Structure 1
Amino acid sequence: MGEWRVPATVLAQLSSDYRPTNPRIESLYQRAKQAQWNAATDVDWTLQVPFGAPLPDDSRYAMASFEASPLARRGRPAWDSFRWELQSWMVSQFLHGEQAALVVAARLVEVVPDVESKFYAASQAMDEARHVEAFSRYLREKVPQMYPVTASLGALLDDVLADSRWDVTALGMQIIVEALAMAAFRLADTTFHDDLIKHIARLVARDEARHVSFGVLSLERVYREMTTTERADREEMVLDAASLMRRRFLLEDIWERLDVGMDDGVRYAANNPLMVKYRQAIFAKVVTALDNIGLLTPRVREGLEQLGLLDFGARRV
């Protein structure tokens, strides 16, 4: 996999006022301490993962998706292989994203201005370390071959980690990457195929909900007080990130591993109704978070709609 280095310069900020000033973040920190779990002992690692085994029949919607896919001419076993590879790819991307989130949480301890936010960010760093531990162990012990970070996710993480402005780092990670992950984890029971990863996903999803809440609580006041020019810069960042994340779900890495023609695979992933609905479903959490911090502006809404990331209900929010 190799090393991955991102040059960055940040200003460490310490506070001389140790009195809590944001009771909602203080409450979030207290809940975070109580909700800690142990990846080594709270997960049953003896559960077997029959990677590559035949899978039960999908819903009729999923089977219609298979029949429209470039895999249809290879028969049902190819669809099962795709579903297992999709799971492996998704967990691999979760792992890479969680390592970046670990770095971001540690950085937020340095740069957020108030002491209770530093406390919470420190608890999130522990969460992220646990997530990296769990996902990496699953991939190392239960999956034949993990995937490297996909190019579009890598580009977004580079941008998030390289930016010296703490709110941009928090926006990219806490509001976009974490909200997408939380939504995907909550769909784990219908998208994953073994009990072990489903259990891990449920544990992680509870942590991710707090992380997104921290992002909202940290940024909502900051963005209310920004100038028009500053807000426009953040809108641009959101749209660039959304474009990269949409590209991520065109599944280029999987088509390559399965020896499917790239043009055929990408066209299918971009246009198949089931895959479009999945992208819209997980982006719905991002839309809600953006709305909560005041960044779901007409410009952002229009950009997300042009990318096909807003469903009918989201357009009416």
Structure 2
Amino acid sequence: MAQEMTMWGDDIIAARNDGYSLSWLEQLSERQDRSDIDVESLPELSDNLTGRLHGAIPRPGLPQVGAYAFRTKQEVWGYNLRKLFEEAVSRQWSSATDVPWHTLEALPDDIERAECQLATFFTEVEFVAADVPGRFISSMSPDYDETRQFLLTQVMDESRHMDVFRKRALANGGGLMRRVDTTTGVVGGRTDDARDFIEMSSRLHILGEGGVLTLFRLGELMAYNDAEKTIYRRAAQDEARHVAFGILHLKYLGEACPERREEVHTYLDEAEVRQATGAGGENPAGSNALTSEALAVLLGGGKDKVDEGYNILMAIRKRQAKEYFQRLKSCGFDDRIHNGRVNPALLAAVKDS
């Protein structure tokens, strides 16, 4: 044993002579508790191009590995993102184990086809909702890691939604149906084209996902078994977080960078037209014939009760508009309602409700 200790002692001496030491441990005694990084310490402009996470001790001489396009706090930050992220992590679920697929039973052909058409649409639109935010994650400075982490949970959520709606389309003998036709060519075309993070979030989180959230919350109106009810209930809790992110992000932006408010209003102008007309295909309750007819069949209880289903669908459209107006108020952009800038069709829907 003594010989072994002597051998290790010689190694330590040799290592120290070569420049090795444990001096880096002294840094720990010089620092306060960093278990919760102070948001106020986040830089307004990040010069971190090395991939170093916020709060980590920098090392000199590292290469600049990240050509981050979004390096300002006002572009990507939002209030309470850490809490939103922690909720997302704690509420993950599985389409394989958390959906009671055994409750599926044979449905009339018109009901099953309508359900499969709607499931096909949701599979497509949730692909956009995962794909688009995912493209921005690696473009953000790692100083704003809470935003990056939350968006990663959104990609996980939306991927799970794609999976569960595809499974529903296939599970009861129907299968995937027709792709939705839109005047822009594909579902979410304008959102997919967004090159700025604020543009993307304004269109996707505030309007696109907001309209889908209303439908998920009312999913029991068009569900015919516990499996479908569970799918809508679980998806709604995920979608609510994504919408909350958009609200918290826009609220911070409007207060921290008021000169960009008009830019956001411009994005909302265009998105409201698509929401009101169904031109972009993001809103299945819009005027797109394929999805609105499928919804009317499901809501009415069959193709012979489609008129009753359309009456319910009109009420859903009004609720979508009301909930959108509430989101505008929550993020501080409801001035567009008071100054008459909001889309007249949405305003009329709220007044008629």
TM-score (norm 2): 0.64
Superposition map of 1:244-259 within 5 A: 244-245=277-278, 249-253=286-290
Instruction: Check if 1:191 corresponds to 2:219.
Output: no
Q: Which amino acid aligns with 1:226?
A: E
Give the Cα separation in 2 of the matches to 1:273 and 1:301. 28
Equivalence for 2:54: 18
Structure 2: runs of 5 or more not aligned: 1-47, 56-72, 295-302
Give the Cα separation in 2 of the matches to 1:127 and 1:205. 11
Specify the structure having the higher radius of gyration (Cα): 2
Equivalence for 1:5: none
Q: Which amino acid aligns with 2:158?
A: E
Give the Cα separation in 2 of the matches to 1:49 and 1:112. 47
Instruction: Check if 1:42 corresponds to 2:98.
Output: yes
Q: Which amino acid aligns with 2:95?
A: A
Q: Which amino acid aligns with 1:197?
A: E
Structure with bigger RCO (C-alpha 8 Å, 6+ apart) = 1
Equivalence for 1:65: none
Contact map agreement 1:29 1:119 (CA 8 A) in 2: yes
Q: Which moved more, 1:211-220 or 1:297-306?
A: 297-306
Give the Cα separation in 2 of the matches to 1:41 and 1:154. 36
Picking from 185, 188, 194, the partner of 1:163 is: 194
Q: Once the 2 structures are TM-superposed, how far is the Cα of residue 206 of structure 1 from its aligned partner?
A: 0.8
Superposition map of 1:125-140 within 5 A: 125-140=155-170
CA RMSD of aligned residues (A): 3.4
Q: Once the 2 structures are TM-superposed, how far is the Cα of residue 131 of structure 1 from its aligned partner?
A: 1.0
Q: Which moved more, 1:126-135 or 1:234-243?
A: 234-243
Q: Once the 2 structures are TM-superposed, how far is the Cα of residue 119 of structure 1 from its aligned partner?
A: 0.8
Q: Which amino acid aligns with 1:128?
A: E
Give the Cα separation in 2 of the matches to 1:122 and 1:298. 33
Equivalence for 2:267: 234
Picking from 273, 284, 304, the partner of 2:343 is: 304
Instruction: Check if 1:292 corresponds to 2:330.
Output: yes
Contact map agreement 2:79 2:249 (CA 8 A) in 1: no
TM-score (norm 1): 0.71
Give the Cα separation in 2 of the matches to 1:308 and 1:88. 32
Equivalence for 1:96: 124
Q: Which amino acid aligns with 1:157?
A: G
Picking from 237, 243, 252, the partner of 2:276 is: 243
Instruction: Check if 1:277 corresponds to 2:315.
Output: yes
Q: Structure 1, residues 150-205: CA drift from partner, whole Å, max 9, x if none? A: 22386551110112011111112111121111111111112222221111111111
Q: Once the 2 structures are TM-superposed, how far is the Cα of residue 307 of structure 1 from its aligned partner?
A: 4.7
Give the Cα separation in 2 of the matches to 1:95 and 1:301. 35
Q: Which amino acid aligns with 2:128?
A: A
Give the Cα separation in 1 of the matches to 2:226 and 2:275. 31
> Number of paired residues?
264
Distance 1:299 1:85, change over 3 A: farther
Give the Cα separation in 1 of the matches to 2:187 and 2:205. 13
